[in-house]
Amino acid sequence: MHHHYHGMVPDAQAAQPDAHSHDHSHKHDHDHDHQQGDLHYGKGEAGLSVPGLGQRQLIAIEMDVLAKNNALAVHNRDHFEATCQLVLNLVSSPGSGKTTLLCETLRRLEGQRPCAVIEGDQQTSSDADRIRATGVPAIQINTGKGCHLDAKMVHDAYHQLPVQEGGILFIENVGNLVCPASFDLGEKYKVAILSVTEGEEKPLKYPDMFAAAQLMIINKTDLLPHVRFDVERCIENAKRVNPYIQVIQLSATTGEGMDAWLNWLASA
């Protein structure tokens, strides 16, 4: 469970009518201060602002939701460890090439290590169908309006998968670099996938995700001659957020760098 609020205002008072009376025969003739300035809605303790709710209330709600999720994540981790599963939570923006990379990875691991996939999207089973076409079992989770997978969803999907001992379970999360950062699914590692078409500032714009990730994959490197993307700056930005993050550059399309990724999986 995760709450999102739209039409936010900096505080509850801002949503209330002005206490002073207005002459409604005039159309909004009161003065506005048109000085420009950045708006920051995440400076409070809760990291967000919702009309009518104080920071302590927001923190209490978030702590309750995350506590219930994390308790089930511990339960998931027990299941995964019992079957010696390497469980990875693949996270990224939409369009980073997660599914293409995953399909190529599964093809290369065929006959070497048993794999299974939990696929998360808001709607459709198209990505899970692509996974199943490789011969690997996959369960699709459609989250509806939800913007992330949670531990309960993964728990339910896992018990429908024919997992084999010593395998790899790939969890492909909903395309979103915000909410999935907060939700432990029971995975061993989060792997953040960033394509060269997105921009090297992503780790600074979404620091929570890159701080939580053990590995950043810079994907679609075959497109580097055609885009303005500074690889070194991207790595530098990621290490500013997370000095311990590992980085692999690859192209799932050409295969360049895939060996480094497979070696990382073998030693993870």
**What tens digit of pLDDT does each residue of 131-162 get?**
999 999 999 999 888 889 999 999 999 999 99
Whole-structure pTM value:
0.83
Q: What is the pLDDT of residues 84-99, one digit of tens each?
A: 999 999 999 999 999 9
What is the C-alpha separation between 153 and 138, in angstroms, rounded?
14
DSSP for 130-170, please give it.
Answer: HHHTTT--EEEEE-TT--S--HHHHHHHHTTS---TT-EEE
β strands within 25-181, DSSP E: 86-92, 115-121, 138-142, 168-172
Structural tokens at position 57? 């209330």
48-79 per-position pLDDT tens digit = 888 888 889 888 888 888 899 999 999 999 99
Neighbours of 240 (CB within 10 A): 12
